[in-house]
């Protein structure tokens, strides 16, 4: 009669007395093979689980690194960008004019000019450092080829043309909350001193 003992993997049949040695050897041979097969299957199962866990951990690591680099890049980018803004006249009137001097990493970047009641905006071209009437300045040019000279004077900016037809003094423009209302501008100059430092460092150095 076939039977299987506890902790054994194979079933032993009923053995005739004169064949017991032979069948015993065969039984233990099968038992050893079954044990090796079981170990191999368990090892394969464990390796599969480990491999899947490693893949999941790798994917998680890649995602976290990408997220970290994105956040870091965003912070670095914001930290490098600065703008010094100077305006003339009252906002939302025909007399209003405004210059935005953008910098990135202490180097000159975009220059934007807004004007009029609707604050129409145009981009100007930076032509480099210059001198006018003995004063250090830098030149900007409109798309119409019209050139203006930007002269930092104290904490203000004097803007003139070469013909003497245009001459205005622009003051630093604050942009941020007023009486707790509004949002903070992270890239804007903190005050008129900071604005002039940004302007001189990027456009007159």
Residues belonging to the chain? 205
pLDDT score, position 99: 98
DSSP string over 9-60: SS-B----GGGHHHHHHHHHHHHHHHHHHHHHHHHHHHHHHHHHHHHHHHHH
pLDDT score, position 54: 79
Spatial contact of 105 and 187, defined as CB atoms under 8 Å apart: no
Which element (helix H / strand E) includes 79?
A: helix 20-80
The residue among 86, 147, 141, 83 whose CA lies nearest residue 109 is 83
Q: Tokens 């951990």 appear where? A: 57
- Put simply, whether the predicted model's pTM sits higher than 0.85 gets the answer no
Reading the chain (205 residues) residue by residue, the pLDDT tens digits are 455 555 555 555 554 555 456 656 766 677 777 777 778 888 888 888 888 887 877 787 777 777 777 665 555 455 589 999 999 999 999 999 999 999 998 899 999 999 999 999 999 999 999 999 889 999 999 999 999 999 999 999 999 999 999 999 999 999 888 887 878 888 999 999 999 999 999 999 8
pLDDT score, position 28: 67
């Amino acid at each position: 009669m076939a039977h299987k003992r506890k902790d054994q993997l194979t079933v032993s049949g009923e053995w005739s007395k004169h064949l017991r040695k032979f069948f015993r050897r065969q039984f233990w041979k099968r038992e050893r093979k079954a044990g090796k097969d079981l170990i191999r299957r368990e090892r394969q199962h464990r390796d599969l689980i480990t491999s899947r866990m490693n893949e999941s951990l790798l994917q998680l690591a890649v995602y976290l690194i990408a997220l970290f680099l994105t956040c870091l890049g965003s912070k670095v980018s914001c930290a490098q960008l600065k703008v010094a803004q100077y305006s003339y006249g009252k906002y939302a009137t025909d007399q209003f004019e405004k210059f935005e001097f953008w910098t990135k990493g202490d180097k000159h970047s975009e220059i934007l000019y807004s004007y009029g009641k609707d604050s129409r905006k145009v981009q100007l071209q930076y032509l480099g450092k210059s001198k006018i009437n003995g004063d250090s300045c830098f030149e900007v040019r409109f798309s119409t080829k019209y050139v203006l000279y930007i002269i930092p004077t104290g904490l203000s900016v004097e803007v003139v043309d070469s013909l003497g037809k245009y001459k205005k003094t622009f003051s630093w423009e604050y942009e941020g909350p007023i009486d707790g209302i509004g949002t903070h501008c992270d890239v804007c100059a903190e005050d008129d001193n900071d604005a002039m430092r940004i302007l001189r460092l990027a456009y007159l150095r």
